[in-house]
């Protein structure tokens, strides 16, 4: 008599990012957080001025919020390791939303700045936790598409929420209504955080070990597994049998096969994130100039239609960012490597800024501004996604939170520093020179990226030679 043995049926692995447990909840939380931030970003300074306070205080609210956001991002990875993603995201969402209700009670200087600082803590923590969680829960083969969808969520929420707050005020609603709506939207992020998986750090889960086909522990950092497979593949490629056989393959197919060998993650700690962070920060500085001075520069050219045209251009920049960030993620997954569109992204960003200079300094037609906005937004979107993917795939898994911190800090601090530095240039030499300075900054990021790739090619050649010699 035969007996039936019980067999465990493993659930099928997810084939799309939205099928990964917790991804959809995280995506909604991201959209809610950025919607709450964007809705009140232009309204709070306006409310401060309308209450009789100074323009300086109105500007200080935004400056305080962004400064505390960046400082908080530096500390968030430690909080995640100590308390987990779920707890950090819930508390951060509450800090982003609930304090904004105090604006309905008082807009005195102390209240305005204290609330801005508290909300900055919440927003900074939430940004780092959300981006890092995507890197934790999504398999590497779908990380590009997941990052692109994250960009779509951020871009779409900002495109809707940024004008929505001002539209509500212009429609006759009080500032308090906007504050309550913004606080409520932030609470959606807190509610969705309850549904996310409470991912454990690698350090706490290292006991449950298994081995893959290469004999490396499955819970080892992703770069270690990729490194061993890379070295094994190189030994096969450079073996005598393959060297003799490959000449029987025509040149064009052989070139396609060679193109599939991609850069591998690098086991050198967080220093491997410096170049992607520099590339992102260089374009973010240019974005700081675009977002701060584009409306004023266009009004100088066309006082009658300048405001409307500037608004259209900023919307185009945002839409292009969203579309091309998603495209970069899809391409990275298809090619199974990040970084393919980093160089084109930097070139497009520089061309967009150069187009603004051409209109302002050389008198090119205003239609050129639309082309410049598309180019800059497209380049910025490509660089955002490629920088995030390169950071996530270059570091050990337990350092994903720190890589997320570096990405967010490079983005936010680059935008703020660019607005300040290029604002000083604009004050002394005009808007055209400010955008020209932004072009130079992007060129610095471009040179750094090219240099990094050259260094890594030489390093890879030495590693291959050493593995073949062994």
The pLDDT score that the predictor gives to residue 2 is 44
Contacts of 2 (CB under 8 A, 6+ apart): none
Spatial distance between the Cα atoms of 302 and 363, rounded to a whole number of angstroms: 12
Spatial distance between the Cα atoms of 276 and 255, rounded to a whole number of angstroms: 27
Spatial distance between the Cα atoms of 77 and 124, rounded to a whole number of angstroms: 11
> Is residue 82 exposed (0-12), middle (13-18) or buried (19+ Cβ within 10 Å)?
exposed
Could you identify the residue written with the tokens 């499955």? 218
- For the chain, which domains are there? 17-199 (1.20.1250.20), 219-470 (1.20.1250.20)
**CA-based max dimension of the chain:** 94
- CA angle in degrees (0–180, nearest 5) for 378-258-461: 95
In angstroms, what CA-CA distances link 447 with 91, 198, 410?
41, 40, 17
276, 269 Cβ separation under 8 angstroms: no
Structure tokens at 408: 């967010």
Structural element, H or E, at residue 198: none
The pLDDT score that the predictor gives to residue 440 is 95
pLDDT string in tens for the chain (470-residue length):
444 444 444 455 556 766 777 788 888 988 998 889 888 877 888 888 888 887 678 767 877 888 888 889 888 888 888 888 888 989 999 999 899 999 888 888 898 899 989 999 998 888 888 878 887 777 766 777 787 888 888 888 888 887 788 788 878 888 899 899 999 999 998 888 888 777 654 444 444 444 444 444 444 444 445 555 555 555 555 555 445 445 555 555 544 444 433 434 445 566 778 899 999 999 999 988 887 777 778 777 777 666 667 767 877 888 888 899 888 888 887 777 777 889 999 999 999 999 999 988 888 887 888 899 999 999 999 999 899 888 877 777 777 778 878 888 888 888 878 877 888 888 888 889 989 999 999 999 999 999 988 877 776 677 666 666 65
């Amino acid at each position: 008599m035969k007996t039936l043995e019980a067999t465990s049926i493993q659930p099928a692995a997810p084939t799309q990012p939205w099928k990964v447990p917790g991804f959809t909840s995280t995506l909604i939380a991201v959209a809610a957080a950025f919607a709450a931030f964007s809705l009140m970003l232009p309204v709070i300074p306006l409310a401060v001025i309308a209450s009789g306070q100074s323009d300086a205080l109105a500007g200080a609210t935004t400056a305080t919020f962004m400064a505390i956001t960046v400082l908080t991002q530096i500390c968030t990875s430690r909080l995640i390791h100590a308390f987990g993603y779920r707890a950090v995201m819930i508390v951060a969402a509450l800090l982003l939303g609930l304090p904004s209700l105090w604006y309905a009670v008082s807009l005195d200087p102390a209240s305005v700045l204290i609330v801005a600082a508290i909300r900055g803590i919440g927003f900074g923590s939430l940004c780092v936790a959300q981006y890092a969680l995507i890197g934790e829960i999504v398999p590497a083969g779908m990380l590009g598409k997941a990052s692109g969808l994250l960009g779509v969520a951020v871009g779409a929420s900002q495109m809707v929420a940024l004008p929505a707050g001002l539209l509500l005020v212009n429609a006759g609603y009080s500032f308090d209504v906007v504050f309550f709506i913004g606080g409520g939207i932030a609470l959606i992020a807190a509610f969705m955080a309850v549904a996310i998986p409470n991912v454990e750090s690698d350090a706490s889960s290292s006991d449950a070990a298994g081995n893959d086909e290469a004999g490396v522990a499955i819970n080892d950092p992703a770069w270690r597994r990729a490194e061993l497979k890379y070295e094994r593949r190189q030994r096969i490629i450079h073996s005598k049998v393959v060297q003799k056989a490959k000449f029987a393959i025509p040149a064009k197919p052989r070139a396609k096969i060679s193109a599939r060998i991609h850069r591998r993650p690098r086991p050198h700690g967080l220093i491997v994130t410096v170049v992607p962070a520099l590339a992102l920060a260089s374009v973010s500085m240019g974005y700081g100039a675009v977002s701060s001075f584009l409306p004023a520069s266009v009004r100088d050219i066309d006082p009658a239609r300048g405001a409307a045209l500037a608004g259209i251009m900023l919307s185009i920049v945002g839409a292009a960012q969203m579309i091309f960030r998603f495209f970069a993620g899809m391409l990275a997954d298809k090619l199974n490597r990040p970084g393919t569109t980093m160089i084109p992204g930097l070139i497009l960003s520089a061309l967009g800024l150069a187009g603004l200079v051409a209109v302002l300094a050389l008198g090119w037609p205003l239609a050129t501004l639309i082309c410049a906005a598309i180019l800059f937004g497209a380049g910025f979107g490509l660089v955002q996604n490629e920088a995030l993917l390169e950071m996530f795939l270059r570091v050990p898994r337990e350092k994903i939170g720190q890589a997320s911190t570096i990405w967010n800090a490079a983005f936010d601090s680059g935008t703020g520093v660019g607005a300040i530095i290029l604002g000083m240039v604009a004050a002394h030499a005009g808007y055209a020179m400010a955008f020209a300075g932004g072009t130079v900054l992007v060129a610095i990021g471009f040179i750094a990226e090219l240099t990094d790739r050259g260094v890594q090619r030489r390093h890879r050649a030495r590693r291959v030679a050493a593995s073949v010699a062994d």
